[in-house]
Structures are given as C-alpha cells and as structure tokens.
Amino acid sequence: MTEAEALARVEQLINGTVAVLDPKPQLEVVPTSMENSECGSDGDAEGRISVGREYYLRGIPKGRIDSVAQQVKRYWDQQGYRVEGVSKSGRSITARSAPDDFFLALGAAGDDALVIGASSTCVLPN
C-alpha cells in the first residue's frame, strides 16, 4: 500500500463513520494530525510511515454526545471492526479496521466535543 492509498483509506474510514451519525457533525481537522509519523525502529519498519488524520466533530449538541459515541461503536461493530476498548463514559473508543488493521479512535475533547481519528499500518512514503 502506498502513502496516498493509506491516506485515502484513513479518510474513507472516518467519512464512512461520520456519514451514519445523527445529528450530522461538521468535520474540523486537528492541525497537528496533518503530519505522518515514523514507524518503529525495528528492521521491518525502517523507512516506513504511518498516515493518520484526526477531526473534531463539531455541531453536536452537548446532550447528544453520548448518543453519537454509541452510534460510532455500533457502526464499527457492524462493519466487523475489532473494538479493543471503551471507556466507562463510552466517549472514548478504540478499534481496528478489517481487513487492513488500521487504528480507529473516538475520544472526548472537553465536555462538549468529540474527536475521531484513524491511522494506517506502516507504509512506504511516496
């Protein structure tokens, strides 16, 4: 998989999730998520990168945040993604996509917002 393909998949995972949410949030990119990160230093990962993006989910009424988090978990379950963790509040969820094992996360951004993100497995840069 190339860097461009990994970025396209990351965006597909995020947009696919957001498309099923009610109410529909607006995506606002987290500026610090625009840079790729180096993979581990073991021999297999040398020179490879992980491509990721994170977005604030804006426009969700405060009283609906828990419902939106539940919708995210339900969608990820329905897609066959492996949910690895859910916080007690239900607002923080981690998962792995299938079949490509990309990392997915939903998290709280303060009391009145959520952040969704995805990152790839290690790929060669373009």
Residue 58, domain member (yes or no): yes
pLDDT at 98: 93
Going by C-alpha positions, the residue among 11, 2, 12, 13 that lies closest to residue 97 is 13
Residue 19, domain member (yes or no): yes
Structural contact between residues 60 and 27, judged by C-beta atoms closer than 8 angstroms: no
Residue 126, domain member (yes or no): no
CATH for 102: 3.30.460
Model confidence pTM above 0.95: no
Per-residue pLDDT of the chain (126 residues; tens, 9 = 90+): 999 999 999 999 999 999 999 999 999 999 888 888 888 766 566 688 999 999 999 999 999 999 999 999 999 999 999 999 999 999 999 999 999 999 999 999 887 889 999 999 999 888
pLDDT at 71: 98
pLDDT at 116: 98
3-state secondary structure at position 50 = strand
Residue 41, domain member (yes or no): no
Asked if the peptide bond before residue 25 counts as cis, ω within 30 degrees of 0, the response is: no
A 10 A CB-CB count for 60 gives 21
- Residue 84's φ and ψ, nearest 5 degrees, are -100, -20
Residue 91, domain member (yes or no): yes
- Residue 111's φ and ψ, nearest 5 degrees, are -90, -15
Number of domains, the chain: 1
What domain range includes position 103? 3-33+48-114
3-state secondary structure at position 123 = strand
Residue 92, domain member (yes or no): yes
Structural contact between residues 60 and 47, judged by C-beta atoms closer than 8 angstroms: no
